[in-house]
Structure 1
């Protein structure tokens, strides 16, 4: 009779610890420490001589698609973007190294958050083999050195359960709001204008936008709850929520336009399908930014 180990058949997830959620000291420590991991919102002007905001967005979209395709934990992508922004706040890099930085940031974030982290070999394939394993390992040491090996950065995800556990609502509604808020956090991580907001405000704004979209009612009461929990000015919370909603509307508009363009070019797609399927899996052609 063969001996079989069934533990690997299903990935085990950690559950939320109610002791940590009920202890106000945890939330207070998160609020007191989050500024430590804030990148400079002006690094495009003060540090970077070659990288532009649209390049960061292109790499962010590629990274998000990789994380989604590999079914990474929700925290991996925002944490990886935090590494990128903190690194580029202190080191001037050429645009040809930006995708390598993105791959390394995902590599480090997945090691910290994933039970089965992304492998270096898989990330090399996702770059269309534009980087080597040696490049990845060398860049990893550089990033670790510049971040002073401090990788446990606070992200908006750290605040979601802390906030939701303090607002009375039905379990199904809470889970639905949380899922939508996680999507909004990913959108904020892609857009450099949200770098000026601390993680707690992005988390609160994402929850407010999610509740407003799901409940189709005024979010004034929720903003009041968020103000009491986090101590953030209501006007600031409302401004952040409105920017998130505008970003969502803009992304949905872009998706509609892309779908129309895709439908109008179906013939071209099918004529080139064999050529496309023969190429390595690369979600987004990030190399376009080098031209």
Structure 2
């Protein structure tokens, strides 16, 4: 019995030694490594080139989708150097990371969210630095309407107003509408579109955005019914638009930045709802094309606070807006006020925000802006 027990013990020790040797030989690549936020989740090298922008020649694209190009795009001109997906330069990154010496004090409000996994307080600063880079890359060309020889500002206004009404009818998320308008603007920054195809472009853009953002997206038949477009044309337009945009839908819409700034405003529901009205103006009105979403969101929150008697743009608001100071947001704030004192340009949009659900934002803000103009304080705000 003693001999048998000693043999068993020696075999066990030998197996343990073999297991230890095998564990030492495990390669580092096989050991799970904690990934940084927003990294490649596969632990593999993708092999994607670091060059972000590869121009798409209009000739090669036209050969691929002949029927769509003849429907959507005019052969008269092609807009070049539009910067649809221009990579952010080092100067841009530094500017929007706000690495300059801070001349204001702020509180670390993210520290209160350390136990809330939904707020990702460990990564939130890095996330918004990343969004600051993305908003530069996904900006449309500010002057693209000058090169749209067949379109006018009024046509774009009408398209946006109609899309806003369809968006409301389908009860889609706010982000869906913002992404749809960004898709339209970036596409029009690259392609000259015929007037009869503009509604098709808008319909396809909203269809793309809804599939990207919504959990339950309306079917293509719903969009065809609302627009009067043929299903096949919408699907062909969808393919062509995505090819022109190189399938890049990584647009950080203004809602992302409004939610961030709201933290410094104690998540005040009233100011936030009015600010939402302002940021929708920023995508509806042609004058705001090319304005960064973070800047339009900061100006929206600034005016909303002023409307409710909160005058100070303090250090917390500067920091949580991405370092945007009062002097930087004032030109955009004045552009909002200019829109409000003019006659109503977007009827459906105005009616939507005149309801109690939206605190009658379109009525209240217009009355406030006109009162400021009457008292001669419009330029002093």
Report the TM range for the smaller structure's normalisation. Answer: 0.7 to 0.9
> In structure 1, how many angstroms separate the alpha carbons of the residues matched to 2:300 and 2:245?
27
2:245 matches 1:147 = yes
Residue number in structure 1 paired with 2:289: 195
Residue number in structure 1 paired with 2:232: 134
Q: Compared with structure 1, are the counterparts of its residues 51 and 21 closer, same or farther at alpha carbon in structure 2 (3 Å cutoff)?
A: farther
> In structure 2, how many angstroms separate the alpha carbons of the residues matched to 1:135 and 1:125?
13
2:210 matches 1:117 = no
> In structure 2, how many angstroms separate the alpha carbons of the residues matched to 1:16 and 1:201?
28
Q: 1:20 Cα deviation (Å)?
A: 5.2
TM-score, with normalisation over the residues of structure 1?
A: 0.74
Residue number in structure 1 paired with 2:135: 34
| Structure 2 contact 278–300 (Cα < 8 Å) conserved | yes
Higher relative contact order (CA 8 A, sep 6+): 1
Residue number in structure 2 paired with 1:102: 202
Q: 1:92 Cα deviation (Å)?
A: 0.7
1:216 is aligned, of 304, 309, 313, to 309
State how 1:195-274 maps to structure 2 within 5 Å. Answer: 195-213=289-307, 215-218=308-311, 221-222=312-313, 224-229=315-320, 230-250=322-342
> In structure 2, how many angstroms separate the alpha carbons of the residues matched to 1:226 and 1:17?
22
> In structure 1, how many angstroms separate the alpha carbons of the residues matched to 2:243 and 2:305?
40
2:146 matches 1:45 = yes
Q: 1:222 Cα deviation (Å)?
A: 2.3
The Cα RMSD (Å) is 2.4
2:159 matches 1:68 = no
> In structure 1, how many angstroms separate the alpha carbons of the residues matched to 2:197 and 2:211?
21
Q: Compared with structure 1, are the counterparts of its residues 145 and 225 closer, same or farther at alpha carbon in structure 2 (3 Å cutoff)?
A: same
> In structure 2, how many angstroms separate the alpha carbons of the residues matched to 1:64 and 1:37?
21
> In structure 2, how many angstroms separate the alpha carbons of the residues matched to 1:253 and 1:146?
30
TM-score, with normalisation over the residues of structure 2?
A: 0.57
Residue number in structure 1 paired with 2:70: none
> In structure 2, how many angstroms separate the alpha carbons of the residues matched to 1:37 and 1:30?
10
Question: Higher Cα Rg: structure 1 or 2?
Answer: 2
2:270 matches 1:179 = no
Q: 1:126 Cα deviation (Å)?
A: 1.1
Q: Compared with structure 1, are the counterparts of its residues 64 and 22 closer, same or farther at alpha carbon in structure 2 (3 Å cutoff)?
A: same
What is the count of residue pairs matched by the alignment? 233
1:161 is aligned, of 248, 254, 259, to 259
Deviation string for 1:41-90 (max 9, x for gaps)? 111223x2201111111000000011111111011111100000000000
Q: 1:238 Cα deviation (Å)?
A: 1.8
Deviation string for 1:234-278 (max 9, x for gaps)? 2221221222133234366986xx99xxxxxxxxxxxxxxxxxxx
2:157 matches 1:57 = yes
> In structure 1, how many angstroms separate the alpha carbons of the residues matched to 2:259 and 2:151?
35
Moved over 6 A (4+): none
Q: 1:226 Cα deviation (Å)?
A: 3.5
| Structure 1 contact 72–110 (Cα < 8 Å) conserved | yes
| Structure 2 contact 151–194 (Cα < 8 Å) conserved | yes
Q: 1:217 Cα deviation (Å)?
A: 4.1
The residue matched to 1:92 in structure 2 has which SS?
strand
Q: Compared with structure 1, are the counterparts of its residues 177 and 121 closer, same or farther at alpha carbon in structure 2 (3 Å cutoff)?
A: same
> In structure 1, how many angstroms separate the alpha carbons of the residues matched to 2:121 and 2:171?
26
| Structure 2 contact 279–296 (Cα < 8 Å) conserved | yes
- Structure 1 or 2: more helix by fraction: 1
Q: Compared with structure 1, are the counterparts of its residues 62 and 236 closer, same or farther at alpha carbon in structure 2 (3 Å cutoff)?
A: same
2:182 matches 1:82 = yes
